[in-house]
Amino acid sequence: MNDILPEQTPVWQFLESTVKNVLATYGYSEIRMPVVEQTDLFKRSIGEVTDIVEKEMYTFEDRNGESLTLRPEGTASCVRAGEEHGLLFNQTQRLWYQGPMFRYEKPQKGRYRQFHQIGVETFGMASADIDAEVIMLSARLWKQLGILDAVTLQLNSLGSNEARAVFRADLVTYLEAHKDELDEDSRRRLESNPLRILDSKDAGTQALLDKAPVLNDYLDEDSKSHFAELCESLDAAGIKYEINPRLVRGLDYYCKTVFEWVTDKLGAQGTVCAGGRYDGLVQQLGGRATPGVGFAMGVERLILLLETLNVVPDALRQPFDVYLAAEHKGIQSRMVVLADQLRDAVPGLRIQLHCSGLKNIANKARQTGAAWVILVRQNEEGSLVSNLWYNSEPSYDVAESDIAALLQQQQA
C-alpha cells in the first residue's frame, strides 16, 4: 500500500480531471460507494473459485461477528448500491466511480495491495451500441491523455451462459485427456474454473490450447450478431482492435463482450483497463434481470504509462505561478495581506508567499521555478515597492498599487 507523494499527485490530478471531463461529455454520473461491503457480496458476484475470492480478499469480522471485506473491485458494490436505491430495474443508467481497491497480492511493479480504479458501469441497455460507446469513450480518454498509440484493444465474445457451458464441458474433456501436460495451477482449475486456463501464462499449457476447442465456434446466434454489430461500430469509428479468442477475464460474471486495453510498455502488468458485459449479474445478486456493461481502469498502471511516455505537461507539476517574498524584516505582516489582495485582484492566480527566514531570499525565490518572482521592500516613504520578474524578464520598482495590474496584464 503506497503513499502518493506531492511530486506524484500532479500526474494523478491530470489523469483524474481528464477522465472526469471525458465522462461528462458522454453524460455519465458519478456514484460513490463505501470501501467495505459484506463478504458475501463479492463471493456471489466475482465467484467463489476466482483468484480474487480464493486468495486476494482482505476479509475480517467486525465487532458484531459479521464478515466484511475491503472491496477488491467496484462493480459488485455498484450493483449492490444501484439495487438498494432502485437505480437499476426498467431504466438506463450510466455511472462512474473512482477509489481505492484492496487485494492481497504479491506486490510488484503495477501490482499493489491498495490500488485505485476508475470504473464505468452502465445498466439497462442490452444492444451492442452501448458496448461500443464504453469502448469508444475509453479510446477517447487514451487520446486525451496522449497514450492512444501505446495501447491496443483486445476483444472477445464469451457468448451466452448456455453456449459457454457447452464449450466449457468440451474444453474440460479435451484438457482431462492431456492432464499431465498442464501446469499445476491449470490442473487445479480444471475442476474449479476451467475457462481461466485459457489465459494461463505457462508455455506448455498454451501449446496444449492451440489444439483445444475454440470458444468462438460455440457462440450462440444472438451473441454472434451482437459481436458483429460491436465490431461494425468500432470499424466505423476507426478504432483498431485485435480479436483474442482466449480472452476470458478473471471474474465470473461476464457474458458476450469482453475487452482489455493492453500496453507493452510496462512489462508483465500490461493491462491498463478491462471490462465487458455482465447481463446476469444484477439477477445473480438478487435483483430483477438488468443488462450491464462496464470497465475498470487501473490508475497506477496508467500513471506508470503516463510517466514512461512523459506526456504530462510540465506546467501541471508546478503548484504555483507567483512566488512573493519580502526582501527584509518588518513588513511580513503587510506581505500576507498583499498576497491576499493579489488573489482577489487576479482570480485563479496561484500565489505562494514566502514565510519566515529571509536569508538569501532572491536566489531562493528564483529557484522555485515560479513564472513570476516578486521581491518586495519598503521605500523611504514607507510604501511597498517590488522588483518583479516574469519568466526572467525584470520590472523594477513597481509600486504596490501597480503589481496587480502587471499580473493581470501578463496573465491575459
Between 73 and 83, whose beta carbon lies closer to ligand ATP?
Answer: 73
Between 71 and 94, whose beta carbon lies closer to ligand ATP?
Answer: 71
Instruction: Find the binder of ligand ATP among 111, 178, 317, 364 (CB under 6 A).
Output: 111
Using alpha carbons only, give the angle 189, 212, 191 rounded to the nearest 5 degrees.
20
Measuring CA to CA, which residue among 2, 5, 9 is closest to residue 316? 9
- Cα separation, 79 vs 76, in Å, equals 5
Shortest Cβ distance from residue 135 to ligand ATP (Å)? 14
How many residues does this entry show for the chain? 412
Q: How many residues bind ligand ATP (CB under 6 A)?
A: 18
Shortest Cβ distance from residue 207 to ligand ATP (Å)? 21
Between 205 and 271, whose beta carbon lies closer to ligand ATP?
Answer: 271
* Amino acid letter for position 163: A
Please answer whether residues 119 and 78 qualify as being in contact, where contact means their C-beta atoms are separated by less than 8 angstroms: yes
Please answer whether residues 14 and 312 qualify as being in contact, where contact means their C-beta atoms are separated by less than 8 angstroms: yes
Answer yes or no whether residue 57 interacts with ligand ATP by CB under 6 A. Answer: no
Site track for ligand ATP across 37-56, x = CB under 6 A: --------------------
Instruction: Find the binder of ligand ATP among 105, 181, 183, 185 (CB under 6 A).
Output: 105
Q: What is the CA radius of gyration of the chain?
A: 28
Shortest Cβ distance from residue 340 to ligand ATP (Å)? 42
Instruction: Find the binder of ligand ATP among 115, 227, 241, 259 (CB under 6 A).
Output: 115
β-bridge mates for residue 395, sequence order: 388
Q: Which residue has the cell 482492435?
A: 241
Shortest Cβ distance from residue 256 to ligand ATP (Å)? 16
Between 281 and 371, whose beta carbon lies closer to ligand ATP?
Answer: 281
Please answer whether residues 335 and 361 qualify as being in contact, where contact means their C-beta atoms are separated by less than 8 angstroms: no
The cell numbers describing 113, all together, are 495491495
- What's the burial of 63, exposed, middle or buried (CB within 10 Å: 0-12/13-18/19+)? exposed
Nearest-CB residue for ligand ATP: 298
Please answer whether residues 376 and 338 qualify as being in contact, where contact means their C-beta atoms are separated by less than 8 angstroms: yes
Shortest Cβ distance from residue 160 to ligand ATP (Å)? 21
Shortest Cβ distance from residue 316 to ligand ATP (Å)? 23
Query: Scanning residues 253 to 312, which ones bind ligand ATP (CB under 6 A)?
Result: 269, 271-274, 296, 298, 300-301
Q: Which residue has the cell 505457462?
A: 202
- Residues contributing to the site for ligand ATP (CB under 6 A): 73, 103, 105, 110-112, 115, 117, 250, 269, 271-274, 296, 298, 300-301
